[in-house]
């Protein structure tokens, strides 16, 4: 790993540390952790209802679907979505009666949603150059759409199923409604609908969306630190270590095996999608957890811990890829 990429990771941890200091000093207020007046929850709601929807709508509205490398996308998303679904199913099967019904989906997104922007873009640009970055951006353009939509559907189905006296038809109808009318899914669908018209976003509207979207990265990074200050580290690391291991080891291993031996990918495309799968947990997992008020301390800790451990695991994956299927350096 180059010093430039290491500096990017250090900058991310510094931003998280600033958020932690702000939360620790209670500069934004001292509401009880988890309450509606909790500043970390207020910021999470702002991200979830304002800034993230603006970013998702603008991204999908401007997406050039004709140039997307669909073969590479399939090699990444098919195994990732399969593993995420299996993790959800396993966690739902072993869920204890005292655990929230939303816990399996929160655990699945913690293990499956990678930090494709703050960590992924610098790694792709620094290691693979412009050509590798182009493949990376193509995958990122559909990353939130696929994983968040899948897990939103699953969690809303679980929530609807828990309502007493609800018929199957009512459960499915409620699930569809809550999945579509959702701060993540709805702007994506609206953006795809705008994209299908072929219209260009009006300049003023595009500028507003861009300004709102640029707040997502710094807000989410400081939010991780604030949440850590308010919620603290989890008391038990048993389940947390499994989620982090799945994110940094299991998912990239499955993507590597299917893409290389199953689909025959080699060289640069293989390296880019494996390193995408090997990224640490992204901040959207924390926003998802706070949306459903489930496992906030665990998801916060998993995000920080996986980012720190990524400094050690990323060079190992790069060494394996260089040995099995070398690519040309930029």
Would 190 be classed as within a structural domain?
yes
> pLDDT tens for residues 43-62?
877 877 888 788 778 877 88
CA distance 155 to 320: 36
CATH number of 36's domain: 1.20.1530
How much is the average pLDDT of 78-104? Answer: 93
Would 329 be classed as within a structural domain?
no
Of 125-129, 180-184, 186-190, 247-251, the least confident? 180-184
Q: What is the DSSP string of 193-211?
A: HHHHHTPPPPHHHHHHHHH
pLDDT at 170: 66
Of 3-7, 159-163, 230-234, 283-287, the least confident? 3-7
Residue 291 pLDDT > 70: yes
CA distance 325 to 284: 32
Would 330 be classed as within a structural domain?
no
The pTM of the full predicted model, rounded to 2 decimals, is 0.76
Residue 22 pLDDT > 80: yes
- The DSSP bridge partners found for residue 281 are 114
Q: Give me the helices (H) in the chain, please.
A: 3-25, 39-46, 52-61, 70-93, 103-112, 120-123, 129-162, 168-180, 185-197, 203-213, 216-231, 238-245, 251-257, 267-277, 284-291, 296-324
Position 238 confidence tier, pLDDT thresholds 50, 70, 90: low
Would 310 be classed as within a structural domain?
yes
Count the domains in the chain.
1
pLDDT at 171: 62
Average pLDDT over the chain, rounded to an integer: 82
Q: Which residue in the block uniquely carries the two structure tokens 């640029």?
A: 214
Would 251 be classed as within a structural domain?
yes
Would 42 be classed as within a structural domain?
yes
Q: Which residue has the higher pLDDT, 230 or 264?
A: 264
CB neighbours (10 Å) of residue 45?
A: 15
Position 24 confidence tier, pLDDT thresholds 50, 70, 90: confident
pLDDT at 33: 54
Domain carrying residue 310? 3-324
């Amino acid at each position: 790993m180059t010093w430039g990429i290491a500096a990017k990771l250090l900058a991310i941890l510094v931003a998280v540390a600033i958020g932690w200091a702000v939360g620790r000093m209670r500069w934004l207020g001292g509401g009880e952790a988890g309450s509606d007046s909790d500043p970390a929850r207020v910021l999470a709601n702002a991200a979830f209802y304002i800034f993230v929807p603006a970013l998702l709508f603008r991204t999908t509205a401007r997406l050039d679907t004709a140039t997307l490398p669909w073969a590479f996308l399939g090699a990444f998303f098919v195994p990732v979505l399969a593993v995420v679904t299996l993790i959800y199913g396993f966690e739902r099967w072993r869920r204890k009666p005292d655990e929230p019904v939303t816990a399996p989906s929160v655990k699945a997104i913690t293990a499956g949603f990678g930090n494709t922007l703050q960590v992924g873009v610098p790694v792709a640009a620094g290691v693979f150059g412009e050509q590798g970055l182009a493949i990376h951006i193509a995958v990122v353009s559909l990353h939130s759409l696929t994983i968040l939509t899948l897990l939103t559907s699953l969690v809303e189905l679980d929530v609807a199923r828990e309502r007493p006296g609800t018929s199957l038809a009512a459960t499915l109808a409620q699930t569809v409604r809550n999945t579509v009318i959702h701060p993540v899914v709805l702007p994506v669908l609206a953006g795809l609908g705008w994209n299908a018209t072929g219209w260009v976003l009006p300049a003023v509207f595009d500028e507003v969306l861009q300004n709102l979207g640029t707040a997502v990265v710094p807000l989410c990074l400081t939010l991780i630190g604030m949440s850590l200050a308010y919620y603290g580290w989890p008391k038990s690391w048993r389940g947390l270590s499994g989620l982090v291991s799945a994110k940094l080891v299991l998912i990239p291993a499955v993507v590597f095996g299917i893409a290389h031996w199953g689909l025959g990918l080699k060289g640069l495309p293989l390296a880019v999608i494996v390193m995408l799968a090997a990224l640490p947990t992204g901040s959207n997992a924390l926003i998802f957890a706070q949306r459903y008020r489930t496992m906030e301390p665990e998801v916060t800790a998993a995000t920080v811990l996986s980012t720190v451990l990524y400094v050690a695991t990323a060079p190992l994956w790069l060494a394996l890829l260089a040995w099995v299927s070398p690519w040309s350096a930029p």
